[in-house]
Amino acid sequence: MRNKLFLAFLAVILLVLLSHLIYEQLITRDFEDYVNGTKIDKLYWVLASVEGSYADGTWDYTTLHDALHWAVMLGFDVRILDMGGKEVTNAAAVMSMLSPSMKRRMSSIVDLSSATGQFEEYPLYEGGKEIGSLLARRLSRPETDKKEVLFRERGKYFLIVSSVIAGGGALLLALFFALFLSRPLRKMKDAVEAMAKGDLTVRVSGTEGDEIGRLAESFNYMAEALQREDSLRRRLTSNIAHELRTPLAVMKAHTEAMIDGVVSDHAQGLENIRLEVEKLIRLVEGIEDITKAEASFFARLDYAGIDLPEFLSRLASTMVPLAAEKGLEMSTMEREHLRVVTDPEKLERVLQNILSNAIKYTETGWIKLDCGRDKKGFFIEIRDSGMGIPDHTKELVFKRFYRGDTSTGIGLGLAIVKELLEVMGGSIQVDSAEGKGTTFRIWLPDNR
């Protein structure tokens, strides 16, 4: 970025210099043209005056001398030749005829001896007939020359100053852009460094709009995900420690009691220990499950189209034996085809968890499945005629490791359900009346 800006700055400077070079050439040429132009104008005036002093084949020397006098004043050394090439008169001769005071005055303005260049020849005419020629060359005139030099120098000076201003401006602009453009990048860099040091709470703000803004957005999204995963993991770890402690403590107590001979019924003691071991196994399985659910936060969904009623009845049929064991009737409502694009594997795990709860927490009666479409999307409903959930624990059932008083589980099932549904872009709601039954309704987004 900085290099590119530096190159852009260099390009601007080069352009400025180039344009000023061109400009300078043009100005000098124009000035040259102007000086030459005035010189020619003056010369024509002298020519006209000289021609005007010729009449009827002879020169009027008074007017001719005046004309030459003027020519000198205008900065020319001149000679007049007749048709035979013989000199009629010249500037030096005219000047020598002046009074001493006039000579002094003239010499302060022009110096005839300063003329060094070649004479240029201009033909003289009278009434359409050539009468001779005028030879002219420029005199150097210190005052005027000085002014010319001054003008040229001023021009150059002006160009240099404006180049410096333009270049400086370009430099300032480049610096400004370098700082301005690199600020969001620096913000990003700082945030990434902070994150590398372990601060997952960093977010990049104030970089809306362009690519850097989108990069910042992605960064924030990533930070969010990492922070979330981090806190989930922390919570899970502390929950697991807590969950491990109880069975281990119970096992320790039983073992010690047996060793100390406090209990005589070793078979019962071992049975108690076996129950705790089973709990531990279930815990480990649950942890595996929830870890998988978490992992799917970072994995892509495997979308596939399913026919929802068909999917439900197939799934229900796999659970029927389990329900039948408890004498429960499990049924799925007959519904029209309803095509849904979702992640079928995840949906299956969600429904298995809810259905196994329904079977577990229902002693007599039935479990009914239904599905359809409402304004929130596709829905699936699982109703049971079981013990119900007390009002004050309705919000808790989705929390990790929460379980009701009668539960023999580990309290991870509904937490897994909720996390999976979040990943799938869906949601879940529970409706229950204690002693009468429970209804879970889940919604899936329309992914078509």
* Residue closer to Mg ion (CB basis): 407 or 447: 407
Query: For ligand ADP, which stretch binds (CB under 6 A), given 74-82, 297-305, 385-393, 418-426?
Result: 385-393
Nearest-approach distance from CB 252 to Mg ion, in angstroms: 27
Nearest-approach distance from CB 445 to Mg ion, in angstroms: 25
Within 10 Å of residue 286's Cβ, how many Cβ atoms? 21
385 binds ligand ADP (CB under 6 A): no
* Residue closer to ligand ADP (CB basis): 388 or 426: 388
Letters for 406-445 (x = contact with ligand ADP by CB under 6 A, - = none) are: -x-xxxxxxx----------------------x-------
Nearest-approach distance from CB 404 to Mg ion, in angstroms: 10
DSSP letters spanning 50-76 = HHHTEETTEE-HHHHHHHHHHHHHTTE
Tokens of 292: 């998988």
296 binds ligand ADP (CB under 6 A): no
Strand partners, 54: 59
Q: Residue count at the site for ligand ADP (CB under 6 A)?
A: 21
Burial of residue 119 (CB within 10 Å: 0-12, 13-18, 19+) is middle
Within 10 Å of residue 290's Cβ, how many Cβ atoms? 23
Strands (E), 252-321: 304-307
User: In 121-210, which residue ranges form alpha helices assigned H by DSSP?
Assistant: 142-196
404 binds ligand ADP (CB under 6 A): yes
Nearest-approach distance from CB 386 to ligand ADP, in angstroms: 5
Sole binder of Mg ion in the list 132, 184, 247, 413 (CB under 5 A): 413
CB 220 within 8 A of CB 248: no
What is d(CA 362, CA 328) in angstroms, rounded to the nearest whole number?
8
239 binds Mg ion (CB under 5 A): no
CB 350 within 8 A of CB 388: no
213 binds, among Mg ion, ligand ADP, none (CB under 5 to 8 A by kind): none
Exposure string over 57-76, b if 16+ CB within 10 A, otherwise e? eebeeeebbbbbbbbbebbb
Nearest-approach distance from CB 431 to Mg ion, in angstroms: 18
Query: For ligand ADP, which stretch binds (CB under 6 A), given 178-186, 290-298, 398-406, 418-426?
Result: 398-406
387 binds, among ligand ADP, Mg ion, none (CB under 5 to 8 A by kind): ligand ADP
* Residue closer to Mg ion (CB basis): 184 or 409: 409
What is d(CA 148, CA 145) in angstroms, rounded to the nearest whole number?
5
Which amino acid, one-letter code, is at 248? L
16 binds, among ligand ADP, Mg ion, none (CB under 5 to 8 A by kind): none
Sole binder of ligand ADP in the list 131, 350, 397, 421 (CB under 6 A): 397
Sole binder of Mg ion in the list 247, 269, 309, 409 (CB under 5 A): 409
| Residue of 27, 129, 26, 117 lying closest to 78 (CA atoms) | 117
357 binds Mg ion (CB under 5 A): yes
Terminal-to-terminal C-alpha distance of the chain:
42
| Residue of 208, 70, 54, 55 lying closest to 133 (CA atoms) | 54
Instruction: Scan residues 339-358 and list those touching ligand ADP (CB under 6 A).
Output: 357-358
404 binds, among Mg ion, ligand ADP, none (CB under 5 to 8 A by kind): ligand ADP
- Max intra-chain CA distance, the chain: 166
CB 64 within 8 A of CB 48: no
Which amino acid, one-letter code, is at 82? D
Nearest-approach distance from CB 184 to ligand ADP, in angstroms: 45
Interface ranges with ligand ADP (CB under 6 A) = 357-358, 361, 384, 386-389, 397, 402-404, 407, 409-415, 438
Interface ranges with Mg ion (CB under 5 A) = 357, 409, 413
